[in-house]
Amino acid sequence: MPSDVALHHGRQLALVSVLVSAALAAMSVAVGLAAGSVSVVAIGVEFAGDVLTSTVVFVGLLVASRPPDDNHPYGHGRIETVAGLFVGFVLIAGGAGIVWRSITDVGLQTRAPEWPALIVLIVAIAVRSVMAAQKLRVARQIGSLALRSDAWNDAVDILSAGVALVAVVLARAFPERLLAADHYGAVVVGLIVVGTGVRVVRSATLDLADTMPDPGMIEAVRRIALSVPGVDAVEKQYARKTGLQYHIDLHVEVAPDMTVRESHRIAHEVQASVLRQLGWVAGVLVHVEPAGGVSADGGLAPGSST
């Protein structure tokens, strides 16, 4: 299970991201308007959306870390996944808005952007690079989809700011021929944001649909279960993600003539071994079956097939 320190660090990063996004949004919009750069204003609008998404991520991580209760026996982790889904939808909507506004205003620009537009973009790229690296590192530690989505959002901001930077440079260098480059740069920024939003929504949807994890993760569970003395085989195994971790269902086979007490002990040992060795597993439900599908009296065990 992710440590309390790692979870706390994740929440801290999300909160810092809110403040940083707010500062970058205000700076980009103000400078973009003063410098006459549509692409810089678009970046500022994107950063303003980041304030909302980072707030959602912070709340999602805060709620997801709560322990299970009577109404939520699997914990509150799905809130974190829903937060990631919301981030994706916000990205799609924000990107589409940037594209539409940039296209409709493409013929309205009458002067090249001024040099302060370049400075704010360079600052934004530097700040977002640091934030993205930190978020990705912590997201891997705690297995957070929402924080990872927010990190990719920062990476998109870097790419978007880079596109805007090129567009501003072209508009300033060749104002007679490429004055509209600033607008087209904003269009590219919007398309990048939409594409990232679609990817984030897809990832969150797969988790909400109980998509199985990577085969290597399932094989690790199987290997640990088979290492427990008394387990003859693993017949079935399922896994579903509930936010930061997975819940596992295992069907293990034991000797048909084994006592209920002994098979129960083995099941608990399988459960304890998986939880002890795999930090990404939140819980394990073990179902015991007779090896070979044969019951103790020689008949076909319930649920078996010929």
d(CA 17, CA 51): 8
Residue with tokens 């649909």, as numbered in its chain = 209
Rounded CA gap, 128 and 85, in Å?
A: 21
pLDDT of residue 109: 57
Q: What are the chain's domains?
A: 4-208 (1.20.1510.10), 215-293 (3.30.70.1350)
Contact 113, 171 (CB under 8 A): yes
Give ∠ CA 248-250-253 in degrees, rounded to 5. 165
Strands 246-254 and 281-290: parallel
Residues 6 or more apart from 50 whose CB is under 8 A from it? 17, 21, 24, 25, 153, 154, 157
pLDDT of residue 246: 85
Encoded tokens for 159: 């790419």
At 305 the pLDDT is 40
Token pair in block for residue 187: 């269009």
The predicted structure's pLDDT at residue 261: 92
Task: Give the 3-state secondary structure of the chain.
Answer: CCCHHHHHHHHHHHHHHHHHHHHHHHHHHHHHHHHCCHHHHHHHHHHHHHHHHHHHHHHHHHHHCCCCCCCCCCCCCHHHHHHHHHHHHHHHHHHHHHHHHHHHCCCCCCCCCCCHHHHHHHHHHHHHHHHHHHHHHHHHHHCCHHHHHHHHHHHHHHHHHHHHHHHHHHHHHCHHHHCCHHHHHHHHHHHHHHHHHHHHHHHHHHHHCCCCCCHHHHHHHHHHHHCCCCCCEEEEEEEEECCCCEEEEEEEEECCCCCHHHHHHHHHHHHHHHHHHCCCEEEEEEEEEEHHHECCCCCECCCCCC
Q: Rounded to 5 degrees, what angle do the CA atoms 189, 194, 200 make?
A: 125
Q: For the chain (length 306 residues), average pLDDT per consecutive 10?
A: 59 81 90 84 80 74 72 73 80 82 66 82 91 84 72 81 84 75 76 82 82 84 92 88 81 91 93 88 89 55 42
Residue 66 tokens read as 């709560």
The side-by-side arrangement of strands in the sheet containing 246-254 is 233-241, 246-254, 281-290
